[in-house]
């Protein structure tokens, strides 16, 4: 009897330990860190963070955001997240990409995802995700060329950088796809953080005869859109839907789908589908190119044309240049 009782007690203890172990394992959440060198409030940083929030709502994860504004601390902050067990660790832009590439060999089991940057490394645990903007800009150029009454449009970039050239290349190609003779003014503000400068430059471009102007200038571009409203003309936003910046005067927004890129790459890493190397997130891989609110506001014939061209961008029938000819 006593032997039977001892056996029963041992079995109950074993079952209890097993249950506690399973409970503890279930309580351990997957951890994902996002490190940005811009604070929330920056339009593009907001898009990236929205991707992490989307994943957090979908899955029960421990999501950590680090706003790493001091370049001298980048390496230690990336290392700290890896040491604390965050996996994957996502970083935004070049400075943090360099830090992630430096730290990655120290943590071979941790996946590092570099967002919106062409910096890459031949390391098995580093992935670089590039969000190409030229396809969305191509559609913006199509809409601009179909809408302009003066046959004169414009483009204002934050600075003459390779990534901004991609925006311009797409916009120019799209506009010329509709009208090869269209006039396109191009100017650079020399800053991405000065809406007053954007307002000034927008005023000048509209005064010169352009009646549709696209910006690729982050915060500076907010001033360009306000100049469109002031002039009674059209502006085209970028990165996110910007119709609320100057209601009634933002014709279109060329989306840079950082939210879904962040969400999808982090989700794949958590699910064991991480792929080392360069990943291009564009039309052919499911990137959102425009906001449905803009599409629905177009005349019916233009709406149909935009959707037809979108399909050609996605299936590769139209290949958009990444540099200006």
pLDDT band at 251 (very low <50, low <70, confident <90, very high): very high
User: Percent of the chain having pLDDT more than 90?
Assistant: 86
Provide the pLDDT for residue 10. Answer: 46
Distance CA 134, CA 170 (A): 4
Contact 185, 205 (CB under 8 A): yes
Average pLDDT, the chain: 92
* CB neighbourhood size of 3 (10 A): 7
Structural domain contains residue 4: no
Domain, as residue range, for 207: 134-255+289-315
Contact 33, 86 (CB under 8 A): yes
Helix 300-315 with 134-147: angle, nearest 10 deg: 160
Tell me: do 55 and 103 sit in the same domain: yes
Provide the pLDDT for residue 24. Answer: 44
Tell me: do 198 and 296 sit in the same domain: yes
Tell me: do 107 and 189 sit in the same domain: no
Structural domain contains residue 22: no
Provide the pLDDT for residue 117. Answer: 87
Provide the pLDDT for residue 22. Answer: 47
Structure tokens at 55: 């994943």
Structural domain contains residue 163: yes
Structural domain contains residue 89: yes
pLDDT band at 2 (very low <50, low <70, confident <90, very high): low
The arithmetic mean of pLDDT across residues 102-121, rounded, is 94
Q: Which residue has the tokens 């490190």?
A: 35
Burial code (b: 16+ CB inside 10 Å, e: under 16) for 8-17 equals eeeeeeeeee
The arithmetic mean of pLDDT across residues 298-306, rounded, is 98
Tell me: do 70 and 157 sit in the same domain: no
Query: By CB neighbour count within 10 A (0-12 exposed, 13-18 middle, 19+ buried), where does 44 fall?
Result: buried
Contact 59, 30 (CB under 8 A): yes
Structural domain contains residue 7: no
Per-residue model confidence as pLDDT tens digits over 14-27: 555 555 444 444 45
Tell me: do 68 and 157 sit in the same domain: no
Provide the pLDDT for residue 28. Answer: 72
Tell me: do 142 and 266 sit in the same domain: no
The DSSP call for residue 106 is G
Contact 132, 166 (CB under 8 A): yes
Tell me: do 164 and 293 sit in the same domain: yes
Tell me: do 186 and 302 sit in the same domain: yes
Per-residue model confidence as pLDDT tens digits over 261-279: 999 999 999 999 999 999 9
Count CA atoms closer than 13 A to 300's CA, side-chain side: 0
Provide the pLDDT for residue 29. Answer: 87
Structure tokens at 273: 């589908």
Structural domain contains residue 324: no
Structural domain contains residue 107: yes
Domain count for the chain: 2
Name the 3-class secondary structure at 307: helix
Structural domain contains residue 3: no
Tell me: do 297 and 169 sit in the same domain: yes
Tell me: do 80 and 177 sit in the same domain: no
Per-residue model confidence as pLDDT tens digits over 150-205: 999 999 999 999 999 999 999 999 999 999 999 999 999 999 999 999 999 999 99
91 bridge partner residues = 35, 114
Tell me: do 97 and 184 sit in the same domain: no
Q: Residue 85 pLDDT > 70, yes or no?
A: yes
Contact 82, 107 (CB under 8 A): yes
Provide the pLDDT for residue 25. Answer: 43
Provide the pLDDT for residue 293. Answer: 98
249: CATH: 3.40.50.2300
Contact 250, 238 (CB under 8 A): no
Tell me: do 179 and 305 sit in the same domain: yes
Distance CA 76, CA 72 (A): 8
The arithmetic mean of pLDDT across residues 56-67, rounded, is 95
């Amino acid at each position: 009897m006593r032997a039977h009782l001892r056996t029963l007690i041992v079995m109950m203890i074993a079952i209890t330990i097993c249950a506690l172990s399973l409970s503890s394992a279930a309580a351990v959440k997957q951890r994902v860190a996002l490190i940005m060198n811009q604070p929330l409030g920056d339009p593009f940083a907001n898009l990236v963070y929205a991707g992490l929030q989307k994943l957090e709502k979908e899955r029960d994860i421990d999501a950590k955001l680090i706003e790493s504004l001091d370049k001298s601390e980048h390496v230690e902050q990336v290392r700290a997240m890896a040491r604390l067990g965050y996996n994957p660790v996502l970083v935004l832009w070049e400075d943090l990409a360099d830090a992630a590439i430096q730290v990655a060999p120290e943590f071979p089991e941790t996946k590092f995802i570099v967002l919106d940057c062409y910096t890459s490394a031949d390391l098995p645990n580093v992935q670089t995700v590039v969000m190409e903007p030229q396809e969305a800009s191509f559609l913006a150029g199509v809409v601009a060329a179909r809408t302009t009454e003066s046959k004169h449009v414009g483009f204002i970039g934050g600075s003459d950088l390779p990534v901004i050239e991609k925006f311009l290349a797409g916009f120019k190609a799209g506009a010329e796809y509709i009208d090869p003779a269209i006039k396109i003014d191009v100017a650079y503000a020399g800053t991405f953080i000065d809406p007053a400068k954007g307002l000034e430059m927008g005023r000048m471009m509209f005064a010169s005869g352009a009646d549709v102007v696209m910006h690729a200038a982050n915060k500076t571009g907010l001033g360009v859109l306000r100049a469109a409203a002031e002039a009674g003309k059209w502006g085209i936003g970028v990165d996110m839907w910007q119709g609320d910046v100057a209601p009634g005067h933002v014709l279109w927004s060329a989306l840079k789908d950082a939210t879904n890129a962040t969400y999808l790459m982090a989700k794949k890493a958590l699910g064991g589908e991480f792929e080392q190397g360069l990943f291009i997130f564009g039309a052919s891989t499911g990137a959102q190119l425009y906001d449905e609110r803009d599409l629905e506001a177009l005349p019916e014939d233009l709406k149909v044309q935009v959707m037809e061209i979108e399909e050609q961008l996605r299936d590769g029938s139209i290949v958009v240049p990444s540099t200006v000819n």
